[in-house]
Chains A and B, each alone.
Chain A
Amino acid sequence: MSFATGLICRECHTSYEVAARYTCDECFGPLEVAYDLAAAKGKVTHASIAAGPNSMWRYRDLLPEVGDAPIDLGAGWTPLRRANRLGEILGVKELWLKDDTRNPTGSFKDRVVSVALSAARELGFTTAACASTGNLATSVAAHAASIGWPSVTIIPSDLEKSKIAMTAIFGGTVLGVEGNYDDVNRLCVELVSEHPDWAFANVNLRPFYAEGSKTLAFEIAEQLGWTLPDQVVVPMASGSQFTKVSKGFNELIALGLVDGETPVMFGSQATGCSPIATAHATGEEVFIPQRPNTIARSLAIGNPADGIYVLEKLREQGGDCGSVSDPEILECIELLARTEGIFAETAGGVTIASLRQMIQRGTIDPNKSIVAVISGHGLKTLDAIVDSATVSATIRPTLESAQDALAVQVVSAAQ
Chain B
Amino acid sequence: MSVIVRLPAQLRTLVGGAAEISVEALTVREAITAVEILHPGIASRVLDDQGGLRRFVNVFVADEDVRYLDGLDTVLSAGQTVSLIPAVAGG
Contact = CB atoms under 8 A, between A and B. Distances in A.
Interface of A: 11, 22-23, 25-30, 131, 181-183, 185-186, 188-190, 192-194, 196, 202-203, 206, 237-240, 286, 289, 301, 303-306, 308
A185 B58 CA distance: 12
Contacts, number: 87
Nearest to A23: B86
B89 A202 contact: yes
B51 interface: no
30 contacts: A11-B56, A23-B56, A26-B45, A28-B45, A28-B54, A28-B57, A28-B88, A29-B88, A30-B56, A30-B88, A131-B89, A183-B63, A185-B90, A188-B89, A190-B8, A190-B83, A193-B12, A196-B9, A202-B89, A202-B90, A206-B88, A237-B91, A286-B55, A289-B65, A289-B68, A305-B87, A305-B88, A305-B89, A305-B91, A308-B55
Contacts of B56: 11, 23, 27-30
A301 B90 contact: yes
Interface of B: 6, 8-10, 12, 19, 45-46, 54-58, 60, 63, 65, 67-68, 83, 85-91
A121 to B, nearest CB: 21
Given A28-B86, A30-B88, A186 B58 contact: yes
Contacts of B54: 27-28
Contacts of B8: 189-190, 193
A166 B63 CA distance: 29
Contacts of B58: 186, 303
B91 A190 contact: no
B10 A238 contact: no
B67 A22 contact: no
Given A11-B56, A131-B89, 11 more contacts: A23-B56, A27-B54, A28-B56, A183-B63, A185-B89, A189-B89, A193-B19, A206-B88, A206-B89, A306-B88, A308-B55
A347 to B, nearest CB: 13
Q: Which of B12, B46, B58 has the most CB of A within 10 A?
A: B58
Nearest to A299: B91
B55 to A, nearest CB: 7
Nearest to A288: B67
Contacts of B90: 131, 181, 185, 188-189, 202-203, 206, 238, 301, 305
Nearest to A185: B90
Give the secondary structure class of B's interface: mixed
Q: Give me the 8 closest cross-chain CB pairs, A-B, nearest first.
A: A238-B91, A185-B90, A28-B56, A193-B9, A30-B88, A23-B86, A203-B89, A240-B91
A186 B10 CA distance: 15
A289 B91 contact: no
A131 B88 CA distance: 13
B84 to A, nearest CB: 9
A381 B10 CA distance: 37
Contact of B91 (A183, A189, A196, A304): A304
B21 to A, nearest CB: 14
Contact of A289 (B45, B60, B67): B67
B39 to A, nearest CB: 15
Nearest to B68: A289
Contacts of B83: 186, 190
Nearest to A202: B90
Given A183-B63, A286-B55, A289-B68, A202 B87 contact: no
A11 B63 CA distance: 28
Contacts of A22: 86, 88-89
Contacts of B68: 289
B65, B85, B86: most-surrounded residue (chain A CB, <10 A) = B86
A189 B55 contact: no
Contacts of A189: 8, 85-86, 89-90
Nearest to B60: A186
Contacts of A194: 19
Of B45, B63, B68, B88, which is in contact with the most chain A CB atoms at under 10 Å from its CB?
B88
A50 to B, nearest CB: 32
A301 B67 contact: no
Nearest to A237: B91
Contacts of A28: 10, 45-46, 54, 56-57, 86-88
